[in-house]
Amino acid sequence: MKKREYDEDDVRIRPGKGSRPRTRIRPAHEEAVSGFVVAVDRGRYTCLIESEGEKGRRRKKDHLEGATMSGRVVVAMKARELGRKGIVVGDRVALVGDISGMADTLARVVRVEPRTSMLRRSADDTDNTDGIERPVVANADQLVIVTALADPPPRPRMIDRMLVAAFDADIEPMLCLTKSDLASPNELVSLYAPLGVPYVVLQKGSTLDEIRERLRGRISVLVGHSGVGKSTLVNALVPDANRAVSHVNAVTGRGRHTSSSAVALELPDGGWIIDTPGVRSFGLAHVSVETVLAGFPDLLEGSIQCPKGCNHLSEECALDAWVAAGHADPARLVSLRRLLASREGTPDDDHAVEPESPSG
Residue-wise pLDDT tens digits, 289-316:
888 888 788 898 899 999 998 999 988 9
pLDDT band at 197 (very low <50, low <70, confident <90, very high): very high
DSSP bridge pairs for 273? 220, 265
pLDDT tens for 52-87 read: 444 433 333 433 433 344 578 999 999 988 888 889
Q: For the residues 200-224, what does the mean pLDDT come to?
A: 93
Tell me if 323 sits within 8 A of 312, measured CB to CB: no
Q: What pTM was computed for the model? A: 0.76
Give me the amino acid identity at 232: T
pLDDT tens across 112-155, in order? 999 999 998 876 554 444 556 778 899 999 999 999 999 889 98
Q: How many residues can be counted in the chain?
A: 360
Measure the CA–CA gap between 314 and 311, rounded to whole angstroms: 7
Judge whether residue 93 has pLDDT over 80: yes
The pLDDT, as a whole number, for residue 294 is: 83
Helix (H) or strand (E) holding 321: helix 319-324
243: confidence class by pLDDT, cuts 50, 70, 90: low
As a whole number, mean pLDDT of residues 8-26 equals 64
Q: Which of 146-150, 192-196, 255-259 has the lowest mean pLDDT?
A: 255-259
Average pLDDT of the segment spanning 25-44: 87
Mean pLDDT value across the chain: 80
**C-alpha distances in Å from residue 300, one per residue of 170, 244, 288, 327:** 17, 44, 14, 11
Residue 345 DSSP class: T
pLDDT of residue 279: 67
Higher-scoring residue by pLDDT: 143, 156:
143
Rounded to whole angstroms, how far apart are CA atoms 148 and 203?
Answer: 10
Res 16: pLDDT: 62
Local structure of residue 66 (DSSP, 8 states) = T
pLDDT greater than 80 at residue 27:
no
Using one digit for the tens of pLDDT, what is the confidence trace for 222-241? Answer: 998 888 888 889 999 998 77
Residue 317 backbone phi and psi in degrees, to 5: -65, 135
Q: Is-contact 114 191, C-beta < 8 A?
A: no
**Predicted pLDDT of residue 277:** 81
